[in-house]
A and B are shown apart, each in its own frame.
Chain A
Amino acid sequence: MPDFGFSLSKSSSVSLDSLDLGLYGELERLEPGVKTCMACGSCSAACTASVWSGMSVRKLILNLQRGKDVEKMLGSCMLCGKCSMVCPRGINTRHLILSLCRIYKKQ
């Protein structure tokens, strides 16, 4: 193969038909407010931990909606609650993180 100096990246497309949305479904049951998230990113902008750890509630919610595992990201949260103060949809994001920790613990 000729060396092009660049290559294909893995596709990030997801198939909604074959996703396992069990984790997100469980979270939705405990925290129905998550359904109103509009992915505005205010939570991530307000998060002190985001700068050094990549913590982002917005990303967390999006990843769950795409059937991805987010356990590693949860460990970066300091539970300071700043994100809950700025969410324009009034989602209690701090509580949402705690609920998610509980779900993982049960597993």
Chain B
Amino acid sequence: MIYQGKQNIWSDYQKEIPHDHWFYVRSCIRQSFFPASEYFFVKIVRDLLGKDLYESKHHTTCGGIAYHCDTIPQETAMTIVARQFALMTEAGYKNLVASCITSFGNYTETLETWREFPELEARIRENLWKACRREFEKPEYVAHASDIVYMLRNEIAEKAKVRLIDKTTGEPLRIVEHIGCHYSKMFPHKGVGGAEYPCVLSGMVESWGGQVIDYPERRHCCGFGFRQYLVKANRGYSVSNTHKKFESMEPYHPDAIITNCPGCPYFLDRWQYVISEQTGKTYGRDGFGIPVFTYEELAGLVLGYDPWDLGLQVHQVAVEPFLDKLGVAYDPDAKYLGVNKEELLKPTLPTVLKCF
């Protein structure tokens, strides 16, 4: 009896993620911040693991950024979301998977609001019909793309070319995970592990051989916070948030950070440069920073894809020391070659943070 009760409680923290047939919606900002991540998500999930993943060329922004910046009202954001649902319905899919954490939060918030206020759903259906003569079925399941990679983590581990092990010491690499707030804090029960045991990223790290590092500010925001960054006068708040996290994780000497949000890897990566210029401090070894990866990039490395094809040259923090620990081969001269092997412009190197 008690055991069953415990099982019931534990089942609240599990997510029954459907195994196949997904309507995939991309992120606006990830494609410019970490251009290869979504490409590799599709490559791994569809081409390598054979899942049915469908994309529509008619998909647009979800409106999440404008909504969280208070530049459009919620009804407008909901109508945009309703149009994406209509595209999914027209394509014959029932499961929606969002690449962006803010989109995931936006879709979930819309569905939860409609559940509480059905009259609002009716009004949005009317708006959508008036705007573009479209109708929709609500998705049966909304997942974030990291849920899918979490679900497939063991299949990825089976095909792994390298494991997250330090080649020189044989010890597991020390990885800090950072889960996006719009995944884990808006509707915690919609994420893997809920609020108490959020394991969407730590599950991947452990399956691929790494060691997850705990530290006091683990659940602190990355610092993006939308208007904290987008209004220049507020950017001090954003960088101070990130600084707090780095100060807190520093004594635990992480080798890398894994994230599942568009904003987190961007700010945790780029602010290391700003902090180094403002305080003279870097957080990795020998003047380097701590590299920050999206879960697709880390999955790609584990599966043996070329680091430069994975887009790791657009990171601010040099990834080479991590690649060396991992034992991944790379060509330093090919770092700033584009996909067509044409020379890209080389960035100016920072004065404090060591980069290549």
Contacts and interface: CB of A to CB of B under 8 A. Distances in A.
Interface of A: 1-2, 4-9, 11, 13
Contact of A11 (B243, B274, B275): B243
**Among the interface residues A7, A8, A9, A13, which one has the most CB atoms of the partner chain B within 10 A?**
A8
18 contacts: A2-B277, A4-B235, A4-B274, A4-B277, A4-B278, A5-B232, A6-B233, A6-B234, A6-B236, A6-B239, A7-B278, A8-B236, A8-B239, A8-B240, A8-B243, A8-B275, A9-B237, A11-B240
A13 B277 CA distance: 23
Contacts of B234: 6
Range, interface on chain B: 10 to 19
B12 to A, nearest CB: 27
A74 B247 CA distance: 34
- Chain B interface helix/strand/loop/mixed: helix
B76 to A, nearest CB: 30
Contacts of B275: 8
Nearest to A9: B240
B244 interface: yes
A26 to B, nearest CB: 29
B279 interface: yes
Contacts, number: 33
Contact of A1 (B233, B243, B247, B278): B278
Contacts of A6: 232-236, 239
A62 B279 CA distance: 30
Contacts of B236: 6-9
Nearest to A10: B240
A1 B277 contact: yes
A4 B238 CA distance: 13
B276 to A, nearest CB: 10
Interface of B: 232-237, 239-240, 243-244, 247, 274-275, 277-279
Contacts of B233: 6
Nearest to A5: B232
A4 B233 CA distance: 10
A9 B232 CA distance: 14
A5 B235 contact: yes
A7 B237 CA distance: 8
Nearest to A15: B216
A1 B233 CA distance: 18
A11 B223 CA distance: 13
Contact of B278 (A8, A11, A13): A8
Nearest to B237: A9
Given A1-B277, A4-B278, A6-B232, 4 more contacts: A1-B278, A4-B274, A6-B239, A7-B278
A5 B233 CA distance: 8
Give 3 closest A-B pairs by Cβ, nearest first: A6-B235, A6-B236, A9-B240
A9 B278 CA distance: 11
Contacts of A13: 244
A6 B240 CA distance: 10
A8 B279 contact: yes
B237 to A, nearest CB: 7
Contacts of A2: 277
Interface centre among B234, B274, B275 (most CB of A within 10 A): B274
A55 B312 CA distance: 52
A17 to B, nearest CB: 12
B279 to A, nearest CB: 7
Nearest to B351: A1
A41 B232 CA distance: 31
A92 to B, nearest CB: 36
Most-contacted residue by chain A among B275, B277, B278 (CB, 10 A): B278
A2 to B, nearest CB: 6
A24 B239 CA distance: 33
